[in-house]
Structure 1
Amino acid sequence: MDVLYGLHPVEEALRAGSRKFDHVCVSRERQDHGAAQKLQRIVDLCRSEGVRLRFENREQLTRMAKTHAHQGVVAVVRERSFLTIEDLMAAPADGHPHLLLALDGVEDPQNLGALLRSADGAGVDGVLLPERRSAPLSAVAVKTSAGAAEHIRIARVVNLVRALEQLKEQNIWCVGLDERGTMSYDAYDWTTPSVVVLGREGEGLHDLVRKTCDHLVRIPMAGGVSSLNVSAAGAVVLYEAARQRRVGKPETAPLPGGVKKKKVKGLGAL
């Protein structure tokens, strides 16, 4: 059994139907009116879905969640079932080109949660996580995602490089974010079927993953540091992709001397 805690994670798991609930524990004490209303909404959802309820004191909830950040609600749930890469390769229901996210060794659960929240907000079709060298989809990750992790489609893969190759065989371009990339992230044509590949905290992409990518893009940095935190960088790129898909790709930007650089897409277009 797994544990979820926090108002948003538990409510979104109930709404999404992505978990099988054993029971939900709710605090007997209500600290303020706003929290009481949110807790009552969870209680009502549990009753409408036939989920068992227990009312406990806050100390018991803290012991269950192993943190004081439970916000008065803890759920005991079955382990989440993950999809396969074949599930993610299926055509999106609305017919738009694929936009996927692949994480190459993101091990901090808070970074994972933040990335899942951004992926859900940007309309990503699915996320690929390697079975090894990856943060688990823990209560911390789900809490950080504010419950978005319960809505996003996630596949676990044994070999990320092989998974990327499978995507390429389906004409989905692999675009790695790397500070050594030669192209700015907003110069790529995100209206094409693409998977954004993000690397490890502080280390970036593994060499073989980097070589597998069709393109390497970077985020230009104007300050004294060379890169953003992986979750912040992922949000920047994903929302640029969402913007292009919503309003169309931007006009090509002029290079020095008045020469315009063409938007690029596809293997060998650099």
Structure 2
Amino acid sequence: MARKNKSVKKTGGGLKFWGRHAIGAALDNPRRVIKKISGTREALATLDLPEGLPVVYCDVADLGRMVARDAPHQGMVADVDPLPDIWLGDLLDDASAAGRPILLLDQVTDPHNVGAILRSAAAFDAAAIVTQDRHAPPESGTLAKSASGALEIVPWIRVVNLSRALDEIAQAGYWRIGLDGEGTELLSQAMGNSKLALVMGAEGEGLRQNVAAHCDVISRLPMSARMESLNVSNAAAIALYAEYTRTKD
């Protein structure tokens, strides 16, 4: 039975995606509505375009005016709609997600970081990422390009309150591990044998106190004393790798 904690309603109109990986993955995603694709004949010839999709052939200069300055569009730009909302409860009830980690991001706002985290989440078979709707970036061409196709693969759930989401995740049997440089034990010691929810804080500020209070344990990554911290996307990749290899042993 689906639980009540729904992801919040996304706002905003259409988006522009660019680059071969982001657009190719969008074309392969049946949940993604693509309204139009523009590009050079050479670039679009590399894609398997569905019948009926509006296509506009144009030159590189025209494409450059459609996207952010210096965006690496690789000869193609797509007009798309945001993905449909996802319920957290539906994910927790989904048998295909069982045994795979959930990654929660506490006010990580840089779209490049979130895109890179999505890419790691896809690589290491995470069930989903969860963010608060506020203080998290929206879907965008920049984020999709950084995710290199993973935005279409990994469910992204937006919730109103991250602490309440952590309570719901605990009720579903997950062990909640917050990652922080001041953690009381190493991640490998904190993992145990339960289903895992890994919680990452923003760079600089780390986990907020209220979010940390809704974790079962606060752990840290093993790291040389010569370096104080890692970029959040790098830390997420290491944590997901550690969980992925643990479940494969």
- TM-score norm. by structure 1 comes to 0.83
Q: Which amino acid aligns with 2:95?
A: P
Q: Deviations over 1:160-189 (max 9, x none)?
A: 101111111111111110111111112233
> For residues 135 and 150 of structure 2, what CA distance do their matches in structure 1 show?
22
Q: Deviations over 1:17-38 (max 9, x none)?
A: 231011100124x4xxxxx5xx
Q: Deviations over 1:86-113 (max 9, x none)?
A: 122113327x424101110000000000
CA contact (8 A) 2:39 2:57 kept: yes
Q: Residue in 2 aligned with 1:90?
A: 93
Q: Deviations over 1:204-232 (max 9, x none)?
A: 10110011100111012214221111000
Q: Which range moved further: 129-138 or 7-16? A: 129-138
> For residues 92 and 126 of structure 1, what CA distance do their matches in structure 2 show?
13
The Cα of 1:49 is off from its aligned counterpart by: 4.7
* Corresponding residue to 1:197 among 183, 199, 209: 199
CA contact (8 A) 1:116 1:148 kept: yes
* 1:72 is aligned to 2:75: yes
Q: 1:209 to 1:63 in 2, by over 3 A?
A: same
Q: How many residues align?
A: 235
User: Cα RMSD over matched residues?
Assistant: 1.5
> For residues 76 and 84 of structure 2, what CA distance do their matches in structure 1 show?
23
> How many percent identity over aligned positions?
33
Q: Residue in 1 aligned with 2:3?
A: none
Q: Which amino acid aligns with 1:195?
A: A
> For residues 94 and 82 of structure 2, what CA distance do their matches in structure 1 show?
27
Q: Which amino acid aligns with 1:19?
A: R
- TM-score norm. by structure 2 comes to 0.90
> For residues 146 and 21 of structure 1, what CA distance do their matches in structure 2 show?
17
| Structure 2, gaps ≥5 residues long | 1-13
* Corresponding residue to 1:16 among 24, 29, 39: 29
CA contact (8 A) 1:91 1:98 kept: no
